[in-house]
Structure 1
C-alpha cells in the first residue's frame, strides 16, 4: 500500500485543529468525510487522543493511502477507513458525535454536499457539530481573485465542481435540522463553517 501526500495538509492542519479544539467534544466518535490522503486523520488523532476517528473516502486509492498511514503511524483511536460516497442515501455508519469534512464541497457534485447534510441530520444528536472546511462564496464578502481563478479551474476540469455559496449550504443544513453556529476564517482564504443539530 502506498501513502499519498497533500502539501496543503501540512499548511492547514494546525489551524483546523485549533477550530476543532473549540468546536468538537472532548471525547466520542468523529466521522471524517472525504479523508483524502489520511494525513489530517493522523495529525488530528494525535492532537485529540480521546476522540475516536473514523476516516472515509469514496476513492480506492485514497482508502489505500489512509490505510498505509494508519498502519505506519496511526494510534489506537484511528479506525480502519470505510468506503463512503457522501451522495449515497445510506451510509455505513449509524451515529457520530461529530462530523468533519475538508475540501470536498467544491471538488464534488452538489449531490455530495446534499448527502452530507442529509446524513448529518440523521447521524448527529442534538447539539452535535458538523465542521466543513474549504473555500466558499459569500454574498457579503468579496471573493479573492485567487478563489475566483480556482473556481474557474475546477469548473474547467468538471462542470459539476466549483466553489459553493455558503448561503446554499446553510439552506441545506436548515432543511436537515441543522443550523450554522460559527464561521471561522482560515489560512489561504478558506473557511470552516460549523453546523449543529437543532
Structure 2
C-alpha cells in the first residue's frame, strides 16, 4: 500500500459534530462523512486524473457534493454524475445550477444492480470513474455492476477509483474500523458492514480489471485503483 504526501493547502469545509448514522444520500450524516476526507481524495485525484481534456464518471453521486467540490479543480475535465435515486438527481441538477459549474453534466439514472438502466452510457467513454463511501451501506454485489460498467466504458489507460473503509483479507485494519462495522451491523440491515478488498477485486478481475494500487488515506480509509 502506498501513502501519498497530502497537501493541507485546500480550504477544508467546516465539519459539524458527527450526526447519527443515516445512509440516505441527503442526510446530515452523509454530508458530514463527505466533507471529512474530501481534500485527501482530491489530492489523490490531482495526482492521478488526466492532465489534459477528459471525461470522468461518478457512480452513486448522492447529493453531488463530491463532484461539485472536485470539478472546479479540473477545468479541462467533464464530470458525469449518476445515481439510482430520482430525488438526488434533482438535487444534483439544482447544485450544478447554483454553483454555475460548466464541467458537470446533467445527472443520469444508473442502478448498479439493473443493467437495463445502463443504456444511458451507450457510446460514452470515460478516462476515469470513481465511487465514494458506498460499499459499507450497499451489497458487495454492486462491485459486479461497477466493474462491468468500468470495463465497458473506460478509455484505454483509464482507471477506476473506489474510496472507503475496507477489510483486508478478512481482517479489520484498525479497532475503529471494527467498531464502525459493529455499529453498522447493529442496525440489522444485511448489506451494511465493511466489505473486503479481496471480494471487490474478485469482481473486478472477472471483467479484466486488476488492483493496481491501494492508497492509504486519513481516518483509516483507502482508495483502491483498478485498471487493465
- TM-score norm. by structure 2 comes to 0.79
Q: Deviations over 1:88-111 (max 9, x none)?
A: 224121322210100112211122
Please list the CA deviations of residues 36-69 of structure 1 after superposition, one character each: whole Å capped at 9, or x if unmatched: 1111111110111111000011122322221221
Which residue in the other structure is 1:40 paired with?
66
Gaps of 5+ in 2: 1-25
Question: For 1:41, what is the secondary structure of its paired residue?
Answer: helix
Which residue of the partner structure matches residue 15 of structure 2? none
How many residues end up aligned between the 2 structures? 195
Instruction: Give the aligned partner of residue 219 of structure 2.
Output: 188
Identify if the C-alpha distance between structure 1 residues 146 and 14 changes in structure 2 by more than 3 Å, giving closer, same or farther.
Answer: same
Bigger Cα displacement from structure 2, 125-134 vs 146-155 = 146-155
The equivalent residue for 1:22 is 47
1:1-198 counterparts in 2 under 5 A? 6-26=31-51, 27-90=53-116, 91=118, 92-94=120-122, 95-139=125-169, 142-157=172-187, 158-196=189-227, 198=228
Query: Once the two structures are superposed, what CA deviation does each residue of 1:17-45 show, in whole Å capped at 9, x if it has no partner?
Result: 11111222122110100111111111110
Q: Is the 8 A contact 2:147 2:203 kept in 1?
A: yes
Tell me the SS of whatever aligns to 2:176: helix
User: What secondary structure is seen at the aligned counterpart in 1 of 2:79?
Assistant: strand
Q: What RMSD in Å do the two structures reach over aligned CA positions?
A: 1.8
The Cα shift of 1:140 comes to 8.4
SS in 2 for 1:36: coil
Q: Which has the larger radius of gyration?
A: 2
Go from structure 1 to structure 2 and tell me whether the alpha carbon gap of 1:141 and 1:149 turns closer, same or farther (over 3 Å shift): closer
SS in 2 for 1:63: helix
Name the CA shift for 1:98/1:8 in 2 (closer, same or farther; >3 Å). Answer: same
